[in-house]
Chains A and B, each alone.
Chain A
Amino acid sequence: MNQITESTVAMGAPLLEVRDLCCERDERMLFAGLSFVVECGTVLQIAGNNGSGKTTLLRILCGLNDGYDGEIIWRGESTHDTAESFAGDLLYFGHRVGVNKILTPLENLRWSAGMQRNVNDQLLLDALEAVGLRGFEESPCYTLSAGQQQRVSLARLRLSPATLWVLDEPFTTLDVDAVAQLEQTLADHARQGGAVIVTTHHKLTMPSVSRLTLGVS
């Protein structure tokens, strides 16, 4: 056992390793014996039918849900032991996008991006421009469309210092151009040494995508 740990450290432990993950929900086995590795520079697409446990898996990986058995290893250590450094290196984009409708996109980002790194307004404006929200930065988010609100949250991707991005259906309400742009952002992140775990029914065209399909035994 000791030897194995030493050798993995010597070879450089993978960014994220999942060992023998099981999750049961409402007496239904979502997945069992799930093991996979996410290395820096890769994109992992999680596929599966509706209700196959994609969102649950992502929430378990982030630490939002602890109803599971198995081990999640972050840079060679269990995520339970490295919670704080793990949180600083993780960006989660969920079904609920984390955009307050009363606040403006700028005010939303000032908080949601500012929790992970120091930001100034110029950085935030640049990020909003990059996701095509220039001119909307001072409008309350309830006046924006669903796709635009999603873009506000996706602007965090351009600001976050995190290595691992965990994205739950980030493509759903985006238009064709924004989808292409987001794919480019994910590919760029992987090329710069980051890692992405993404659930989507959309077919990803970028290179270096591996797929994990839930719900098939």
Chain B
Amino acid sequence: MLSVAVKPSTRSAFMLTLKRDLLIAFKRKNDIVNPFMFFVIVISLFPLAISPEGERLAEIAAGVIWIAVLLSAMLSMDSLYRGDFEDGSLEILLLSPHPLFFLVLAKNIAHWLVSGLPVVIASPLLAYMLKLPSESYATLMLTLLVGTPTLSLIGSIAVALTVGLGSRGLILAVITLPFSVPVLIFGTLAVQASASGLPSGGYLTLLLALLAGSLSLAPLTSAAALRISVS
């Protein structure tokens, strides 16, 4: 019995973790729907509060969408490791014979698929509501497609660091925000540039660089942070 068992490849451990997290997310729909609804509600309040006038809205549209994305990302982060920490699955994850980097990455990807991707897909509709010039829709979606995974990866570090604390309150925001600000700046700049007919490629490249950096470093940092939180 002991000898026939084959150790799964890291790839299959990655897929198992990804599938499990997606399954949990679909069974616990509140965790997906709440941040998304928050995103939609925040944006839909702006035309009511500022002015329904197209010109004034178009001016702030990029910033408003990006701020709403940032806030809703932060709202959604908390569920990333909390459940696993509380029920002990995190210990199984840490003690598995696979590189923690890939397992953490799988969890981050699953989290982005259910929290970041819906925001990217819904963004043109909300951009329309804020009267963003239609030629910037593509840029907006592109920047969000590159920016939201970066936000998830950065948030993952902060959540991993604070998962063992009883009451977290604002700590998560205080840790995450300084690192998220570059994403916010380049994201809005890119959209604003394309709205005024300027090339936005440079900002996009910077966003891509941020994604590449966080993709390679954040899972490593999150893994180390998780080890600290559990011990």
Contacts and interface: CB of A to CB of B under 8 A. Distances in A.
A97 B88 contact: yes
A202 interface: no
Contact of A102 (B13, B28, B230, B231): B28
A114 B16 contact: yes
Interface string A66-97: 11000000000000000011011010101111
Contacts of A118: 5-8, 12
Nearest to A102: B27
A95 B88 contact: yes
A27 B92 CA distance: 29
Contact of B92 (A85, A88, A112, A159): A112
Interface in A89-129: 90, 92, 94-103, 107, 110-112, 114-118
A186 B93 CA distance: 24
B24 A102 contact: yes
Contact of B24 (A87, A100, A115): A100
A96 B87 contact: yes
Interface residues of A, number: 40
Interface residues of B, number: 32
A184 B19 CA distance: 34
B231 A192 contact: no
Interface in B1-42: 1-2, 5-8, 12-13, 16-17, 19-20, 23-24, 27-28
Interface stretch (B95-103, B136-144, B185-193): B95-103
A67 B17 CA distance: 29
Interface of B: 1-2, 5-8, 12-13, 16-17, 19-20, 23-24, 27-28, 83-84, 86-89, 91-98, 230-231
A171 to B, nearest CB: 17
Contacts of A66: 231
Residue from B8, B17, B84 whose CB has the most chain A CB atoms within 10 Å: B8
A59 B12 CA distance: 27
A161 interface: yes
A62 B1 contact: no
A38 to B, nearest CB: 17
B1 A192 contact: yes
Contacts, number: 101
A48 interface: no
A66 B27 CA distance: 35
Contacts of B98: 115
A117 B24 contact: no
A190 to B, nearest CB: 12
A194 interface: yes
Contacts of A1: none
Contacts of A98: 87-89, 91-92
| B interface majority secondary structure | helix
Given A110-B16, A161-B5, A192-B2, A96 B23 contact: no
Contacts of A101: 87
B231 A64 contact: yes
A163 interface: yes
A96 B7 contact: no
Contacts of B17: 111, 115
B95 A62 contact: yes
B24 to A, nearest CB: 6
Given A103-B27, A161-B2, A115 B87 contact: no
A194 B95 contact: no
A103 B92 contact: no
13 contacts: A64-B230, A67-B231, A92-B91, A98-B87, A98-B88, A99-B88, A100-B24, A100-B83, A102-B28, A111-B17, A114-B13, A116-B5, A116-B7
Interface in A149-183: 159-161, 163
A65 interface: yes
A59 B20 contact: no
Given A111-B17, A115-B17, A115-B97, 5 more contacts: A84-B97, A98-B91, A107-B20, A111-B19, A118-B5
A114 B8 contact: yes
A110 B230 CA distance: 23
